[in-house]
Structure 1
Amino acid sequence: MALAVSLRGARRELDERTAPLAGLVAAFIFAAQMLNFPVAAGTSGHLLGGALAAILVGPCTGVLCVSVVLLMQGVLFADGGLTALGVDVTDMAVTTTVVSYAVFRALLAVLPRKRRSATVASFVAALVSVPAAAVVFTLLYAIGGTTDVSPGKVATAMIGVHVLVGIGEAVITALTVSAVIAVRPDLVHGARGLRQRLTLRVNSVLVDAPAPVAARTSRRALWVTGLVTSLLLAGFVSFYASSNPDGLEKVAHDKGLDAKEREHAAADSPLADYGVKSVSDARLSGGLAGVIGVGVTVVAGSAVFWAVRRRRGSDASPVNTGP
């Protein structure tokens, strides 16, 4: 249901400028999720990406971006159960995107209409979205959990660690949004309508001044830069990521939520566990897997968003030009 609504909404959000960016956003989120960062003793965290996607390309398109990433991770890398894909999409794609975008828009309504406000709002929105996902996970566990651990204990453990993960999410999101706004604010869905106010002092009085005309980074240059950055993150930087389990894995192990865990359906995939099985060198194996993942995600994501964009055009009513 959520994906159907998102597909319909994405038709309104995507245009010829943003459709290519949406595929790139999915690839960047895939790459960034490989970079686990330490948040506590024996625990790490990684980007969820819902806030980042919602602000850059819109909430409905953002849901689809994160969903594409989750599908690629499950099918190619045996990361996340395929039978639990619906739960993962609800928690990591829908919840983070909807919550973060609601917070983002609410903050922009009260903050000055400046581009800097978008950066501040993106930080807070991303920070809130991660513990919100932890709350939704607890609710889903309370409804369909198969262990005897009380939902209260799960909530305490999940929310506590994911507040810390949210700080990392907020920093990554704010820095990325700020960087894109600096070069192409017109391509940032959440920043449309914002302007950088310039003033001049004339006779000791501050007056508004017209903004100077600055050269803008082309869409192609932005896309290439984003793709190269994603490839570097997944192919090189990911080797130095924290090896500690992420917040969910840590809580699941400590509380016994993984007592009935079974082997992943894609465990025999040649890219399972983010490594190329035929390559013995760990660094090269992980780097190649990351590069392949970015490539497949950007192609799959771009295909999905171009198809959605074309569907929007086919659904448009023809203009009546008369007899």
Structure 2
Amino acid sequence: MLRRSLLLAACLPAVARPVGVLAQERPVRLVVAYPPGGSTDILARLIAPRLGEGLGTLVTPENRSGASGAVGAGVVAQAAPDGATLLLDSGGQAVNPFLMRGLAFDYRTAFAPVTLLATLPLVLVVRAELGVATLPQLLDRLRAEPRLAAYGSVGIGARTHLAMAALLRRAGIAAEHIPYRGGADQVTGLLRGDVAMGFTSIALSAPLLREGRLRSLGTSLPGAADSIADQGFPDFSIGDWLALFAPAGTPGATVARIAAAAAEAVNQPALRPRLDELGLLPAAEGPEALARFLAAEREAMGALIAAEGIHLDG
């Protein structure tokens, strides 16, 4: 009976698995382009379990940080386009092409956009001791006292740098940029009085705002009651964002499947309080929307970097 069953099975046509469709037994490697503890890493670990459920497999975050996200991006750029390796990256995707030379991959062609996951408004903050309560007051103070015109960021070309550069350019104010090693160092420098102002994340600024040590003068994305766009700078919109990418050449059906699972993962109601703490606004709309968004971001960031003459060597 057993021999007969085996012969019958051998005569049946093989069922081919569609190319690029994830097998349930095959784990997915989610490369996080930034170090542990930041918004990118936290989001990856929050969505990985539900993303795995949607794909029917295990999704394991793996931090590969360095060079403003270029190290992790390079890992995924060289991976097989089979859906088993994904990249969770941020706004560096739209900035690094204009600042970095000699990369082993081209940001514009190395990746298949999967979906935007979330946007991250920045908050413009000053020390409470500075004695200004509104953005117009700050700008008037900087014009009257140019020596105060210094601001911090988390690094050259970071969104905290570009947002401040764009705002001051529109206000017609020249200022010194002081890059720090990270968000915590930037805020420490601000509290110490090394700089007068700076954009930072909601997560970093919220405790100090509650304690009254910092004062918020506006948010960098439109839509909020205190947005910079509503304070004399129409259309001002420079925030950070987090998105999912696959290696170029990943089949469209696989990309669509991952995008749908990612949207479900980031929009799960249980995550909303945690995302609110981080200042993350879910924005998963699929590959076509991310491709359009990324094209607009690269155009805007490239123009700003050129106008400001920003280089990685300062």
TM-score, normalization: structure 2?
0.28
Higher normalized contact order (CA 8 Å, seq sep 6+, divided by chain length): 1
